[in-house]
């Protein structure tokens, strides 16, 4: 069991992030086609037709955009198909989260994308049909202290040895990464700085370079895609609050990554829990969140939650979303994670228990009370009887 005596909070966060990234990296794509011989060139036209009209202005409509990621419970075609199905059917928004490295060679040299990743992009676009689309990309590695690794465990190119956020080739590749994902997935919402406050805090010597890299990416995205809402996300529990005020002039909204139970407290957050994110006066969204329905590891030790506690948290969060007119809300995991099915190492398995019971649905596919509340909110929005 991982406890605060074993890891610092930021090291914990890097472990917390890396385990779910293995899910889509290891899973089979639900797409038909995209076999081992297929190739996809950077800059190619999108793999399918348009996925719908831009998300309309929600002001005064009572509409509530609710999103899920298509993270599967296990590394099997059935689990992947189920996760994609839930993300497509149980959300008015689908969340595509890219935080597992980038295909450096393809982005810098124009070589074909790995065939499995090209097939994954096609599957993601197909699953996005008829929904709002949110795409998030990290400008750092999962430890939040260096430039991204290669995609799905691949090594970075030798030419990037010693490179950092101010290296021109890094900036060029990340700009091309934005262009590729926008072309393939046609997002309404685009996060080009996942948990930027953690990145700056984890590499304080280069914090200014990281923020400048984000600003460059933001300027490129807003100039090139004027109909897309572009922003960074900030981590509520482990992030540095000093970073947000520095970026209020370079974000279209403030997106929050929040897991309140990381502090070991399973009680419903207080009414002012999210207040600091509203101070700049910009729109606010929940970029990712979750809450356990069972046992969970935290930096403060193991906690025993329940479906009732999970439902209480979602009720509170939906109340916040409606009362504060949040732009959207993303629940990170549609289903629980079958730790045994993944064959994790003991360390990774211990770490995975931080979110293993965060699903709205259990491993048997049964909806929890929070799933029923989610469905009702998706169907009725913020209407009041």
> Which range has the worst mean pLDDT, 22-26, 238-242, 259-263?
22-26
Q: Is the pLDDT of residue 123 over 50?
A: yes
Q: Could you give the CA distance from residue 192 to residue 217 in angstroms, rounded to a whole number?
A: 7
Does the domain spanning 9-31+60-380 belong to CATH 3.90.1150.10?
no
Place of tokens 């419970």: 73
pLDDT for 2: 24
* Main-chain phi, psi angles of 189, to 5 degrees: -125, 135
Would you call 53 helix, strand, or coil by DSSP?
coil
Place of tokens 């996005």: 128
Q: Could you give the CA distance from residue 92 to residue 99 in angstroms, rounded to a whole number?
A: 22
- At 254-269, the pLDDT tens digits run 999 999 999 999 999 9
Query: Per DSSP, which regions of 194-300 are E strands?
Result: 229-235, 254-258, 284-289, 295-298
Percent of the chain with pLDDT over 70: 83
Helix (H) or strand (E) holding 377: helix 369-380
Residues facing 258 on adjacent strands: 289
- At 30-40, the pLDDT tens digits run 433 333 233 33
Would you call 341 helix, strand, or coil by DSSP?
helix
Q: Could you give the CA distance from residue 368 to residue 379 in angstroms, rounded to a whole number?
A: 17
Residues facing 324 on adjacent strands: none
pLDDT for 29: 38
Binned at pLDDT 50, 70 and 90, residue 15 comes out as: very low
**Which of 63, 61, 82 has its CA nearest to residue 71?**
82
Please list, in sequence order, all residues whose beta carbon lies within 8 angstroms of the beta carbon of residue 132, skipping any fewer than 6 positions away: 55, 65, 67, 92, 93, 94, 188, 189, 328
Q: Could you give the CA distance from residue 174 to residue 218 in angstroms, rounded to a whole number?
A: 11
DSSP-assigned letter for residue 95: E
Are the C-beta atoms of 2 and 15 separated by less than 8 Å?
yes
Of residues 301 and 352, which shows the higher confidence score? Answer: 301
73: tokens are 């419970």
Place of tokens 């839930």: 86
Binned at pLDDT 50, 70 and 90, residue 62 comes out as: low
């Amino acid at each position: 069991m991982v406890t605060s005596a074993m890891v610092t909070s930021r090291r914990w966060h890097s472990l917390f992030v890396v385990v779910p990234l293995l899910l889509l990296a290891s899973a089979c794509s639900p797409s038909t086609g995209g076999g081992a011989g297929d190739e996809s060139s950077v800059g190619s036209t999108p793999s399918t037709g348009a996925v719908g009209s831009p998300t309309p202005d929600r002001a005064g409509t009572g509409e509530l955009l609710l999103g899920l990621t298509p993270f599967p419970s296990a590394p099997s075609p059935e689990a992947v198909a189920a996760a994609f199905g839930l993300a497509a059917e149980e959300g008015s928004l689908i969340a595509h989260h890219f935080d597992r490295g980038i295909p450096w060679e393809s982005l810098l040299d124009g070589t074909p994308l790995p065939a499995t990743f090209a097939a994954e992009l096609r599957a993601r676009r197909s699953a996005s049909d008829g929904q709002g689309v949110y795409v998030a990309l990290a400008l750092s590695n999962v430890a939040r202290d260096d430039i991204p690794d290669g995609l799905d465990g691949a090594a970075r190119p030798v030419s990037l040895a010693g490179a950092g956020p101010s290296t021109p080739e890094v900036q060029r590749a990340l700009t091309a990464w934005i262009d590729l994902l926008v072309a393939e997935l046609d997002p309404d919402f685009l996060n080009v700085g996942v948990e930027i406050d953690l990145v700056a805090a984890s590499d304080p010597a280069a914090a200014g370079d990281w923020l400048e890299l984000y600003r460059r990416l933001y300027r490129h995205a807003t100039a090139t895609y004027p109909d897309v809402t572009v922003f960074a996300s900030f981590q509520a529990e482990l992030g540095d609050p000093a970073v947000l005020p520095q970026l209020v002039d370079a974000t279209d909204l403030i997106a929050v990554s929040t897991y309140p139970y990381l502090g070991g407290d399973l009680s419903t957050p207080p009414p002012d829990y999210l207040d600091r994110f509203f101070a700049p006066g910009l729109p606010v969204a929940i970029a990712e969140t979750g809450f356990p329905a069972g046992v969970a590891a935290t930096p403060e030790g193991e906690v025993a939650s329940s479906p009732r506690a999970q439902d209480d948290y979602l009720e509170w969060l939906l109340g916040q979303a409606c009362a504060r007119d949040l732009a959207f809300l993303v629940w990170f995991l549609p289903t629980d994670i079958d730790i045994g099915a993944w064959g994790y190492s003991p360390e990774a398995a211990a770490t995975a228990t931080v979110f293993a019971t965060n699903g709205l649905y259990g491993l048997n596919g049964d909806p929890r009370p929070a799933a029923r509340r989610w469905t009702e909110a998706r169907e009725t929005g913020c209407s009041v009887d």
